Structure 1
Amino acid sequence: MNELDERIVRVLAEDARRSYADIGAEVGLSAPAVKRRVDRLREDGAITGFTVRVDPSALGWETEGFIEMYCRSNTGPQDIRRALTRYPEVVAASTVTGDADAVVQVFAADMRHFEAVLERIASEPFVERTKSVLVLSPLLRRYGSGAPT
């Protein structure tokens, strides 16, 4: 991906509904040239899809937290992933370095709901213990806009 492709991707990441003509005006290309580049980026797998970002609070999910999972030694990432896909409250999960095996981002309706999700995750057969933190105020979120400029 070259610098022009990166600029197109940044514009799409900010608002994927922008027209090719609008994107072209911003990056200095014609609408057909932008379309060709976007099609190529999709074919190459650099762009994997287009989506909408919804404010979780608009759906009634007012509480956000992170759960560190500490798992039994024979637990593989696929086991963690398989278990967590059953929880609609889990919006992201990653294996990590350090003491924890994985960190899980959770949205819930309220504290009671978060606690229930935490207890269900902690009761998974491969989980030895958990540690959680609640988000007070999100300070910065970036959504797939490429490398910072």
Structure 2
Amino acid sequence: MDRIDRELLAALINDGRATYQELGRLVRLSSNTVADRIRRLRKDGVIRGYRAELDYAVLGRDMQIMSDIRLQDTVDPAEFERGLDDVPQVISASRLTGEYNYQLRIVCANALELEGIIDRLKKHNGVRQAHSRLVLHEVPLARDRILGA
């Protein structure tokens, strides 16, 4: 991966809908050459896809919660992970080392909905303990800064 690939990735991180023509102007290459580079980056697995960034508050889910989850000893982690598909308010999940098994990011409308989600996770998904915290705001970090590491 060279400097031009990094510039293309930085541009796509900040605007995944940029056209090949716009990207070409940015890196001073033809749109066909840019398309070839992006196809290669996709084939190599550097670019895994493109996603819309949602504003959950606009969707009526203005509470974001980080919840550390400890499973019951008898729960299979793979089964727990599959069960998360049935809880649409869980927007991300990470398996952890340490005291807790998982960290979930949950979006919901209010405390009553959060209570229902936690109760459901305990009743149907084998959660023994949930330690939840309200996200006050996200710290805006440049998403393309990883390319300089």
Deviates more, 1:97-106 or 1:79-88: 79-88
Alpha carbons 1:8, 1:23 under 8 Å: kept? yes
Corresponding residue number in structure 2 for 1:88? 88
Percent identity of equivalent pairs: 26
Structure 1 window deviating more from structure 2 (28-37 vs 75-84): it is 75-84
TM-score relative to the length of structure 1 = 0.88
Consecutive unaligned residues in structure 2, runs of 5 or more = none
Q: Which amino acid aligns with 1:8?
A: L
CA contact (8 A) 1:72 1:126 kept: yes
> RMSD in angstroms over aligned alpha carbons?
1.9
After TM superposition, list the pairs within 5 Å mapping 1:1-149 onto structure 2. 1-140=1-140, 145=144, 147-149=146-148
Give the Å deviation of 1:142: 6.1
Unpaired runs of 5+ in structure 1?
none
The Cα of 1:39 is off from its aligned counterpart by 1.1
Query: Which residue identity does 1:147 align to in structure 2?
Result: I
SS at match of 2:100: coil
AA paired with 1:122?
A: K
**TM-superposed deviation, 1:72:** 2.6
Q: Deviations over 1:83-116 (max 9, x none)?
A: 1111110110011122000000000112211221
Contact 2:94–2:103 (8 Å) recurs in 1:
yes
CA distance in 2, matches of 1:96, 1:148: 25
SS of 2:124's equivalent?
Answer: coil
Secondary structure of 1:47's partner? coil
**Do the aligned residues in 1 keep the contact of 2:80 with 2:125 (CA within 8 Å)?**
no
- Inter-partner Cα distance in structure 2 for 1:70 and 1:14: 35
Inter-partner Cα distance in structure 1 for 2:64 and 2:14? 23
Equivalent pairs counted in the alignment come to 148
